[in-house]
Amino acid sequence: MALDWTLHPAGDETAPVVLVLPGGGYSHLADHEGEPVADWLNSLGVHAAVLRYATGYHCWPRPLHDARAALRALRSGATPFPVDGRVGVLGSSAGGHLAALLATDSPDVPGADPLTFAGRPDLAILCYPVTDLRETMLGRLPNLHTASAENLLGEDAREEVRADLSVATRVTPPEEEEMPDLFLWTTSDDQVVPAIHTLSLMTSLAVAGVPFEGHIFPHGRHGLGLADEEPDVAQWTDLAERWLAARGWC
């Protein structure tokens, strides 16, 4: 399948690459969560590829198939710049859900073609991600963000399917199946995708013993991207750079 993406090489040197997945609630793609993020990664010496994955009402499973195809292409060397074999993923909001699906991916994802499975990325950065598609979170709390789920699966999707595609339920302990290291951040007063989405995934990771770094900033609207206009939240890029450097990525 032909990939709809934009490649952003960091230069001619061999380096890791990060697949960038903008948000948009599975209804559209937010430009400010794509190219600017790729440029930031380039400034760290990391190649980037911004994927325009399928969106629109009841688009499942096309977004996952697109992301899997991009992951496979980056791993196979189908780029004009040299990749050292390491492929990460960075997603924002609904793109964070898709990135987390890749991080927890397996051949038996409901509704997806198992032949498209491309393994898991080597690390994942999730920015204010959607992590739960169910009507109720943690067994008792109403999910205050269901728009992404309805766009992805349709309004009449069964709760079992919503549960299976809620990434907080898909975390696997390292002894069962290796997961990539994760870096997550959000804001405590996000009114669109409440912080509990990030917190519930952090809880699942902690219970499973999966390494992660998480940050909850006190204030900041949803969809900040690089957060240039919010100095406190803009720290996330410095924190993520340090996290990447500790893993030898920049």
Residue 14 in this model has a pLDDT that exceeds 80: yes
Tokens for 193?
A: 């995708």
Domain boundaries, the chain: 5-246
| 187 or 2: which leads in pLDDT | 187
Question: Once rounded to an integer, what is the mean pLDDT over residues 67-84?
Answer: 95
Q: Is the pTM of this model over 0.95?
A: yes
* Per-residue pLDDT tens over the stretch 76-97: 988 999 999 999 999 999 999 9
Q: Residues 202, 207, 209, CA angle at the centre, nearest 5°? A: 90
CATH fold, domain 5-246, is Rossmann fold (3.40.50)
Residue 137 in this model has a pLDDT that exceeds 90: no
pLDDT computed for residue 1 by the predictor: 65
pLDDT computed for residue 7 by the predictor: 98
Shortest CA distance to 102 belongs to which of 132, 71, 77, 76?
71
Q: Are strands 5-8 and 47-51 parallel, antiparallel or unpaired?
A: antiparallel
* Per-residue pLDDT tens over the stretch 21-46: 999 999 999 999 999 999 999 999 99
Question: Once rounded to an integer, what is the mean pLDDT over residues 138-166?
Answer: 90
Say how many CA atoms lie within 13 Å of 222 toward its Cβ: 20
